[in-house]
Amino acid sequence: HSLRNIDELCASIVHCHRETSQYRAEELQALKLKLFSREEIQAYQSKSVDEMWQHCAVRLTDAVQYVVEFAKRIPGFRMLNQNDQIALLKTGSMEVVLLRMSRSFNTENSTVFFDGKFAGVEIFKSLACGDLIMAVFDFAHDMCALKLSEQQIALFSALVLINADRPCLEERGKVQRVQRSVELGLTHILHRDHQENLMPKLYQRMAVLRSLCRLHLEKLGWFSQRYPLTAHSLFPPLYKELFARL
């Protein structure tokens, strides 16, 4: 890889991150002071478990769709074997959603952008997934502490997605080659920003993302058993395709 290639790779990944971000960082910043009223919070808390789950599944699926778009535009992703593209999205899309979600976290009042305003953990009470929500908020808080730039988030998101260690890959070698070029891009960006010390922290955050998504799948398994009708007929098809244990 000559430097020119790496610069081009970084520029194209940053570009497709921006194009597929759903909300720009500046937009989220401007919305930060819009909080839910006590009545609105109570309305969320009086939703039934399955109603709130369905609501969140729809919102998460919106965010996942943008991540699918992001993946398709990463140089090298489309050259991968179709089944491997699906396998990488099946295991990585939720991780990138939660990573991106941290851009919309306000560390001052521990709120996250949800349904047009900024919400605290209490909004999600009726999900009966307090531990997962707490872990998601803690993760978002920790990510904010790293103060990553959008460019660093873009390269980090691509690295989370293109992971040759994912299960059931048919052409692991090809995924390794794309992963290595993205790794080069991320180290190049961090070197340019004199922040090489972030690399080990980012690998640590990847492990936390994997545990968050394992917990999400566990909760989904519990929910689908408890509310089979909602899970099978009211969840968005893409959510089921990606996350339901087939």
Q: How many CA atoms lie within 13 A of 22 on its CB side?
A: 22
Q: Per rule CB under 6 A, is residue 139 in the interface with ligand 4CX?
A: no
Site string for ligand 4CX, 92-111 (x = CB under 6 A): -----x--xx-xx-------
Q: Per rule CB under 6 A, is residue 141 in the interface with ligand 4CX?
A: no
Which residues ranging from 148 to 207 are in contact with ligand 4CX (CB under 6 A)? none
By beta-carbon proximity to ligand 4CX, the closer residue of 22 and 85 is 22
Residue 101: which of 72, 59, 131 has the closest Cα?
A: 59
Task: Note whether 224 and 232 are within 8 A (CB).
Answer: yes
Q: Per rule CB under 6 A, is residue 132 in the interface with ligand 4CX?
A: yes
Site string for ligand 4CX, 37-76 (x = CB under 6 A): ----------------x--x--xx--x-------------
Name the strands in the sheet holding 111-114, side by side, starting at the edge strand that comes first in the sequence. 105-106, 111-114, 117-119
Per-residue DSSP letter, 119: E
Instruction: State the residues that interact with ligand 4CX by CB under 6 A.
Output: 21-23, 53, 56, 59-60, 63, 97, 100-101, 103-104, 112-114, 124, 127, 129, 132-133, 136, 216, 219
